[in-house]
C-alpha cells in the first residue's frame, strides 16, 4: 500500500471522516482512510465488556429528525440500517434533569420527552413566578423562531451577551450556561451564540437526546463497511506526520506507515493541528495563520463508566447541574489556579435504557461525563 496513488486521502475516522470517505468512495473516487488508532471511530466508538455494549462518552443525538446521519445513510443506500431507538415524537419520558439554585439546600428534579416544545417543566423546576415565566417564554419563543439569517448575525456574539439583551431569570441563564458546557464544552461567555441557538432550535423542533440500536459506534461500522465495499482502503495505526505540499499544491501525506500520494487531502484532525503542524504555516497567508493561532480550543470532556449488577435508573439520559457547578471563564481560571469545585455538571446516558440488548439482563452500565481541561498534557482532570 505504501507509495500507492489515490484520488483522495482522508485523515481521521470519526463520524465526519468516515462519512466523508464513504461518500467519496461511493462517488467512484479512489480513497484512502487513515486512522492513528487500531480501530475506526475516533471519539464515537462503541466498545464491549462482559456482555455490556457502551460508548466511550455519553452521546445524545441532536437533532433526531433530519440528522446528518439520515442524509449520509440515504446517499449511501443503507437508510434501512439507521435504526434510532426512539422517534422524536415518542411520548415517553427520555431525559431527567436535576437542578439546584444557589439558595436551595437540595436538588430538584424533572423529566420530559425528547422535544422541548413545552417549557413548563423547566419553569416548574426553576421555581419561576408568573412574570419570570412570561419573560422566559418570550425569550425562548424568539430564539426558537429566529430565522437563519438572524442566527448567522450572532456568529461573533457570545451567548452571554445574547442573553443579556433580554430580561430573563438568572435560573434560565444558569441553564443555558450549563448547556454551553455540556453540549459544546465551552463557557457561556465565549461560545458563539449562533451555535448554541441552532442547537436549541433543533431540540425544540426536531428532538434531542436520542440514540441508535447498538450505539453510535454501530453507525461508524455501517459507513466503514460501505466504504470498503466501494473499494475504499483503510489503514489503522497510521498517525499522519505531515501533509506534503510542493509548489503550493498538496501531493499526499507522510505517516508512520509510509508515504501516500493524492492531489486532495481532507483532514478531520482539527484545524489548528492541520494548518500549523501537518501542513505548516509557511504554506498559508499570514493573516489566515494569525486567525488560526487566535482560535481558542474548546474544553475537554472526560468520561467514567459504572457497571451495576442491578437496574437502578429508568430513563435513558440524565443531566445534573447547579448555579455553582457550570463554568464560565472566571470559574475555569479558578480551577486552573488550583481551586477544586465542590460540585460538577454531569451528563449521563444508560445505553440499555435505549437498547435493552446493550447490557446483560438485570444489569446497567452508566456512561457519565463532565467538562475538564482542554490540555492533553494536564496532570489531572479538573474535577473532584
The CATH code of the domain that includes 273 is 3.50.50.60
Query: Mean pLDDT over residues 103-114, rounded?
Result: 90
User: Would you state the torsion angle of the CA atoms of residues 354, 356, 362, 365, taken in this order, to the nearest 10 degrees?
Assistant: -50
The alpha-carbon radius of gyration of the chain (Å, integer) is 22
Residue 182 belongs to some domain of the structure: yes
Backbone angle region of 187, left / alpha / beta, with phi > 0 → left and psi within -120 to 50 → alpha: beta
> 382: pLDDT confidence band, cut at 50, 70 and 90?
very low
Residues 119-171 have pLDDT tens digits of: 889 999 999 999 999 999 999 999 999 999 999 999 999 999 999 999 999 99
Residue 87 belongs to some domain of the structure: no
Residue 12 above 50 pLDDT? yes
Do the bridges between strand 31-34 and strand 46-49 make them parallel or antiparallel, or are there none, so unpaired? unpaired
How far, in Å, CA of 158 to CA of 187, rounded? 9
Choose among 163, 151, 150: nearest CA to 189: 163
Please indicate, yes or no, whether residues 257 and 325 belong to a single structural domain of this protein: no
Residue 200 belongs to some domain of the structure: yes
Residue 107 belongs to some domain of the structure: yes
Q: Are 216 and 59 in contact (CB under 8 A)?
A: yes
Please indicate, yes or no, whether residues 28 and 152 belong to a single structural domain of this protein: no
Give the residue numbers spanning the domain of 356.
Answer: 95-209+298-372
Q: Are 108 and 130 in contact (CB under 8 A)?
A: no
In percent, the amount of the chain with pLDDT more than 70 equals 96
Residue 178 belongs to some domain of the structure: yes
Please indicate, yes or no, whether residues 103 and 190 belong to a single structural domain of this protein: yes
Please indicate, yes or no, whether residues 260 and 360 belong to a single structural domain of this protein: no
**pTM of this prediction exceeds 0.75:** yes
Residue 89 belongs to some domain of the structure: no
Domain boundary among 294, 314, 340: 294
Residues 356-374 have pLDDT tens digits of: 999 999 999 999 999 988 7
Please indicate, yes or no, whether residues 121 and 188 belong to a single structural domain of this protein: yes
pLDDT for 384 equals: 41
Q: Are 347 and 326 in contact (CB under 8 A)?
A: no
pLDDT for 383 equals: 45
Please indicate, yes or no, whether residues 12 and 161 belong to a single structural domain of this protein: no
Residues 52-68 have pLDDT tens digits of: 999 988 988 888 889 99
Please indicate, yes or no, whether residues 147 and 184 belong to a single structural domain of this protein: yes
pLDDT for 92 equals: 79
Question: Of 235 and 64, which is predicted with more confidence?
Answer: 235
Please indicate, yes or no, whether residues 302 and 368 belong to a single structural domain of this protein: yes
Please indicate, yes or no, whether residues 175 and 304 belong to a single structural domain of this protein: yes
The total number of structural domains that make up the chain: 2
Residue 91 above 90 pLDDT? no
The CATH code of the domain that includes 128 is 3.90.660.50
Query: Mean pLDDT over residues 17-31, rounded?
Result: 98
How far, in Å, CA of 50 to CA of 64, rounded? 30
Query: Mean pLDDT over residues 251-257, rounded?
Result: 93
Please indicate, yes or no, whether residues 311 and 201 belong to a single structural domain of this protein: yes
Choose among 109, 138, 111, 102: nearest CA to 125: 109
**Mean of the per-residue pLDDT values for the chain?**
92
Q: What strands, in cross-sheet order, belong to the sheet with 300-308?
A: 108-112, 95-100, 317-322, 346-349, 364-372, 300-308
Please indicate, yes or no, whether residues 305 and 189 belong to a single structural domain of this protein: yes
Identify whether 266 is preceded by a cis peptide bond (ω within 30 of 0): no
Residues 304-326 have pLDDT tens digits of: 999 999 999 999 999 999 999 99
Amino acid at each position: 500500500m505504501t507509495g500507492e496513488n489515490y484520488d483522495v486521502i482522508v485523515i481521521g475516522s470519526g463520524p465526519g471522516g468516515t462519512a466523508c470517505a464513504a461518500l467519496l468512495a461511493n462517488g467512484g473516487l479512489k480513497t484512502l482512510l487513515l486512522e492513528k488508532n487500531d480501530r475506526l471511530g475516533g471519539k464515537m466508538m462503541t466498545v464491549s465488556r462482559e456482555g455490556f455494549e457502551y460508548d466511550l462518552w455519553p452521546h445524545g443525538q441532536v437533532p433526531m429528525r433530519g440528522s446528518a446521519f439520515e442524509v449520509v445513510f440515504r446517499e449511501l443506500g443503507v437508510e434501512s440500517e439507521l435504526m434510532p431507538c426512539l422517534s422524536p415524537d415518542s411520548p415517553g419520558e427520555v431525559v431527567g434533569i436535576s437542578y439546584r439554585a444557589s439558595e436551595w439546600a437540595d436538588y430538584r428534579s424533572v423529566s420530559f420527552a425528547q422535544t422541548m416544545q413545552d417549557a413548563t417543566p423547566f419553569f416548574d423546576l426553576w421555581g419561576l413566578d408568573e412574570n419570570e415565566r412570561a419573560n422566559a417564554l418570550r425569550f425562548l419563543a424568539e430564539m426558537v423562531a429566529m430565522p437563519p439569517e438572524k442566527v448567522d448575525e450572532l456568529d461573533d456574539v457570545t451567548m452571554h451577551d445574547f442573553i443579556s439583551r433580554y430580561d430573563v431569570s438568572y435560573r434560565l441563564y444558569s441553564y443555558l450556561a450549563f448547556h454551553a458546557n455540556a453540549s459544546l464544552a465551552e463557557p457561556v461567555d465565549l461560545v458563539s451564540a449562533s451555535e448554541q441557538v441552532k442547537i436549541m432550535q433543533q431540540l425544540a423542533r426536531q428532538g434531542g437526546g436520542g440514540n441508535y440500536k447498538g450505539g453510535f459506534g454501530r453507525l461508524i461500522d455501517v459507513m466503514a463497511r460501505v466504504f470498503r465495499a466501494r473499494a475504499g482502503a483503510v489503514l489503522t495505526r497510521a498517525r499522519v506526520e505531515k501533509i506534503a505540499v510542493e509548489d503550493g499544491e498538496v501531493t499526499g501525506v507522510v505517516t508512520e506507515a509510509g508515504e501516500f500520494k493524492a492531489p486532495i487531502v481532507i483532514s478531520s484532525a482539527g484545524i489548528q493541528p492541520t494548518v500549523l503542524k501537518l501542513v505548516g504555516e509557511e504554506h498559508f497567508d499570514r493573516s489566515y495563520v494569525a486567525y488560526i493561532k487566535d482560535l481558542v480550543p474548546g474544553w475537554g470532556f472526560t468520561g467514567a463508566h459504572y457497571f451495576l449488577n442491578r437496574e437502578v435508573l429508568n430513563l435513558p439520559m440524565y443531566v445534573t447541574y447547579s448555579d455553582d457547578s457550570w463554568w464560565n471563564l472566571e470559574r475555569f481560571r479558578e480551577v486552573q489556579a488550583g481551586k477544586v469545585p465542590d460540585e460538577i455538571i454531569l451528563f449521563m446516558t444508560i445505553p440499555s435504557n435505549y437498547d435493552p440488548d446493550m447490557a446483560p439482563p438485570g444489569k446497567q452500565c452508566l456512561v457519565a461525563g463532565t467538562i475538564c481541561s482542554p490540555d492533553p498534557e494536564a496532570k489531572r482532570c479538573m474535577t473532584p
